């Protein structure tokens, strides 16, 4: 019996939580550190959020780690080609991701942000700017997103909202832990 092809219609970026929040002139991107294979935690302190380019872009990923690092490298090349133009670089990456036979097979999803814009990038060619500057991806993404939306009008700053929302997501999502990495930029 031949192994079946993966079901590409189902979301495959289920094992993490990445969240971005813009508030008060700050953009914060945070993610948990859990790496799971099936029902087993294989690493608890992975860094899924990092600075890209010359440090003026923050990226976070959900999905296959090697695939995400390949996409980060490609995005950094696009940022060199289109300096200070995150949206243009992201669109060019999305075009390549959708049309290149090798890249099409990569199973990851990304959030990227600079001082001006936050974007979600997917392998289906999507480059989406979230409403209200808040977006979450991964298995705990919707939990963190809901928590951040509830907290956005309160006294917490962007980084504190990301930290609290990721903590709430960790209470709900078994693929999310409390070993978080948060990067911030002044918008």
Q: Has residue 12 been placed in a domain? A: no
For 135, the domain range is 17-182
Q: Is residue 159 part of a domain?
A: yes
List active site positions. Answer: 16
CB-side neighbour CA atoms (13 Å) of 170: 16
pTM for the model = 0.89
Number of domains forming the structure of the chain: 1
The string of pLDDT tens digits covering residues 93-139 is 888 877 766 666 667 789 999 999 999 998 777 899 998 899 999 99
Q: Using an 8 Å Cβ cutoff, are 43 and 35 in contact? A: yes
In this predicted model, what pLDDT tens digit does every residue of 10-31 receive, in sequence order? 444 457 899 999 999 999 999 9
Any domain includes 170 = yes
Q: Is residue 41 part of a domain?
A: yes
CATH number assigned to the domain comprising residue 51: 3.60.20.10
* 8 domain-assigned: no
* 5 within domain boundaries: no
- 174 occurs within a structural domain: yes
Q: Is residue 87 part of a domain?
A: yes
């Amino acid at each position: 019996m031949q192994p079946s092809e993966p079901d590409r219609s189902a979301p495959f970026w289920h094992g993490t939580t990445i969240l971005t929040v813009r508030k008060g002139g700050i953009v914060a991107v945070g993610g948990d550190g859990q790496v799971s294979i099936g029902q087993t935690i294989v690493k608890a302190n992975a860094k899924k959020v990092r600075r890209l380019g010359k440090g003026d872009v923050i990226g976070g990923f959900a999905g296959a780690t090697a695939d995400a690092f390949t996409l980060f490298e490609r995005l950094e090349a696009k940022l060199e080609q289109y300096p200070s133009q995150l949206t243009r670089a992201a669109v060019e990456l999305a075009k390549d991701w959708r049309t290149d036979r090798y890249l099409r097979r990569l199973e990851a999803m990304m959030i990227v942000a600079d001082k001006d814009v936050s974007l979600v990038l997917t392998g289906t060619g999507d480059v989406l700017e979230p409403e209200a500057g808040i977006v979450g991806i991964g298995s705990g993404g919707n939990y963190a997103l809901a928590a951040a939306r509830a907290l956005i009008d309160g006294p917490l700053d962007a980084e504190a909202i990301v930290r609290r929302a990721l903590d709430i997501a960790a209470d709900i999502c078994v693929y999310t832990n409390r070993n978080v990495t948060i990067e911030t930029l002044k918008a």
